[in-house]
Chain A
Amino acid sequence: MSTFGRQSNPQLNSHGELQHLLTIEGLPRDVLTRILDTAAPFSEVAEREVKKVPLLRGKSVFNLFFENSTRTRTTFEIAAKRLSADVINLNINTSSASKGETLLDTADNLAAMQADMFVVRHASSGAPYLIAQHLAATGRDHIHVVNAGDGRHAHPTQGLLDMYTIRHYKADFTRLTVAIVGDLLHSRVARSQIHGLLTLGVPEVRVIGPKTLLPTGVERLGVRVFNDMREGLRGVDVIMMLRLQNERMQGALLPSTQEYFKSWGLTPEKLALAKPDAIVLHPGPMNRGVEIDSAVADGGQAVILPQVTFGIAVRMAVMAMLAGN
């Protein structure tokens, strides 16, 4: 019997445990903290002779990528394999969907193959939610759904790994000033970051970018808006750079990438305005010379490669928590 839609948060089961991970928005602070706490012991597994634990032995994880993303798919695949799951990768934009199959037909077919978990990436906002709702409505809520990025909506595991990275270097969220810089308009990562930071108690979240790349009404989320990068970076503890999403842009939102770099690229000179021990994050893939200078990307304050390593541990924690609930 399904309760989907009747409970306050479709991601939580009747015991308040995580059933799906669709978005950070609306998840209580203790659930976020528990995911971060659980990720810490998983990061140690990578140091072992055998980089695997048996939690998801015999489980089938389907990576349903309706939109290409080699890196995200790979980190989910590594995470699932380190949990001993069997992983099946489907790049659906090159298979069934091009033959006309609907999203839910695809999900039904894979569920009939005894799937235990779907990791879903889709260009349309809400696609993972639709699949979770469909599974619940058809009595198959033992299958868990992880959102690996949907449209402009959310990318919760990226947001969580960013929170894990910040906590690793800065320990206490409640004393931080955090800046998110760049193309927020097209960024599902930024939305997940904002919800994560505010839920975990960051007192000041700044968003910095050109007016054309900031969503209207973004300040209603509880962030401070800056249209001048130098002013916005002054005294911050954490700088979260966003990728300029050229492939998602239509029309004249930007003059040129050179112009963009001049105003919105993170250079050593602009980084110097932040606190001396500020850290720099980037979700990748980086456009060097567009949103970030190579001297910063390869410099001592960048924690961009540790983000990738932590991302595997965070995804292991999410999948292990879901599959056990």
Chain B
Amino acid sequence: MTTRMPLQLPDAEALCAALADAMRAHVDPAATALVGIHTGGVWVAERLHAALGLKIPPGSMDVSFYRDDYHQRGLRANAKTSQIPFDVEGAHIVIVDDVLYTGRTIRAALNELFDYGRPARIDLAVLVDRGGRELPIAPSFCPHTLSLAAAQTLELERAADGGLAFRLVEK
């Protein structure tokens, strides 16, 4: 049996601020739209929307209907309704998620987004890249990288006061 070094989890609040700083020069407050992926990505998108002073209300997506593991695992319970409150056609969109891992969720999100229209440009913003990619997908904005074992999951949680924090789940 191996013992792991205790992992110092990143500060989610500090990463939200760092992510907004990294994006600021690359967004147009009047024209850039955010789409958060349920559930953590929606929280991060809300933070970025406020921090960057964007005019277009943020969208949200639940990619359950586009996941590539449906035939192995079935339809996920508690699928949420996707809401895209702006015209995707010709838009500059930033997909927002909390943690980037295999890239399969982002693949599903890209497919879903194109069913609303043809965006001019899509970027990807995440708080943490934890490695382990299985598809050729890279973030446009990412303030933190770390390496986790396959049995570990990094989950973003929101407290009753709205504060965001990471939690490490060992399987």
Per-residue contact bits, chain B 53-88, to A (CB 8 Å; 1 contact, 0 not)? 000000000101110001101110111111100001
Which A residues are in CB contact (< 8 Å) with B117?
A: 49
Chain A residue nearest in CB terms to B117: A49
| B116 and A321 contacting across the interface, CB-CB below 8 Å | no
| B78 and A54 contacting across the interface, CB-CB below 8 Å | no
What bracket does the count of chain A residues touching chain B fall in? Answer: 20 to 34
Q: How far is the CA of A40 from the CA of B64 in the complex (A)?
A: 13
Chain B: interface secondary structure? loop
Which B residues are in CB contact (< 8 Å) with A43?
A: 81
Chain B residue nearest in CB terms to A37: B78
| A55 and B115 contacting across the interface, CB-CB below 8 Å | no
Most buried by A among B77, B79, B83, B111: B79
Q: How far is the CA of A70 from the CA of B66 in the complex (A)?
A: 30
Most buried by A among B65, B79, B116: B65
Which B residues are in CB contact (< 8 Å) with A320?
A: 65, 75
Mark out the residues of chain B between 97 and 119 whose CB falls within 8 Å of any chain A CB in the assembled complex.
Answer: 111-112, 114-117
| A41 and B77 contacting across the interface, CB-CB below 8 Å | no
| B70 and A324 contacting across the interface, CB-CB below 8 Å | yes
Q: How far is the CA of A165 from the CA of B73 in the complex (A)?
A: 29
Q: A44-B83, A50-B115 are in contact. Are A321 and B78 (CB under 8 A)?
A: no
CB distance from A34 to the nearest CB of B (A): 6
Q: A40-B81, A41-B62, A54-B65 are in contact. Are A49 and B115 (CB under 8 A)?
A: yes
Q: How many residue pairs, one in A and one in B, have C-beta atoms under 8 Å apart?
A: 53
CB distance from B54 to the nearest CB of A (A): 23
Q: How far is the CA of A53 from the CA of B71 in the complex (A)?
A: 14
Which A residues are in CB contact (< 8 Å) with B75?
A: 38, 55, 320-321, 324
Which B residues are in CB contact (< 8 Å) with A17?
A: 74
| B78 and A55 contacting across the interface, CB-CB below 8 Å | no
| A44 and B74 contacting across the interface, CB-CB below 8 Å | no
Question: Is A134's beta carbon under 8 Å from chain B?
Answer: no
Per-residue contact bits, chain A 20-63, to B (CB 8 Å; 1 contact, 0 not)? 00000000000000100110111111001110111100000000
CB distance from A176 to the nearest CB of B (A): 24
Q: How far is the CA of A246 from the CA of B75 in the complex (A)?
A: 41
Which B residues are in CB contact (< 8 Å) with A37?
A: 77-79
Q: How far is the CA of A53 from the CA of B112 in the complex (A)?
A: 8
| B82 and A324 contacting across the interface, CB-CB below 8 Å | no
Chain B residue nearest in CB terms to A321: B75
| B115 and A48 contacting across the interface, CB-CB below 8 Å | yes
Q: How far is the CA of A50 from the CA of B80 in the complex (A)?
A: 18
| B81 and A41 contacting across the interface, CB-CB below 8 Å | yes
Partner of A325, one of B65, B74, B83, B89: B74
CB distance from A23 to the nearest CB of B (A): 21
Chain B residue nearest in CB terms to A34: B77
What is B's interface to A at a CB cutoff of 8 Å?
A: 62, 64-66, 70-71, 73-75, 77-83, 88-89, 111-112, 114-117
Closest 9 CB pairs of A and B: A324-B74, A53-B65, A50-B115, A41-B81, A324-B75, A44-B81, A41-B79, A320-B75, A325-B74
- Between A and B, 17 residue pairs with Cβ closer than 8 Å are A37-B78, A37-B79, A38-B75, A38-B77, A41-B64, A41-B79, A48-B116, A49-B88, A49-B117, A50-B114, A53-B115, A54-B66, A54-B111, A55-B65, A55-B70, A324-B73, A325-B74
* Known interface pairs A41-B82, A320-B65; 6 further A-B residue pairs with C-beta atoms within 8 A, sorted by A's residue number: A37-B79, A41-B79, A48-B116, A320-B75, A324-B71, A324-B75
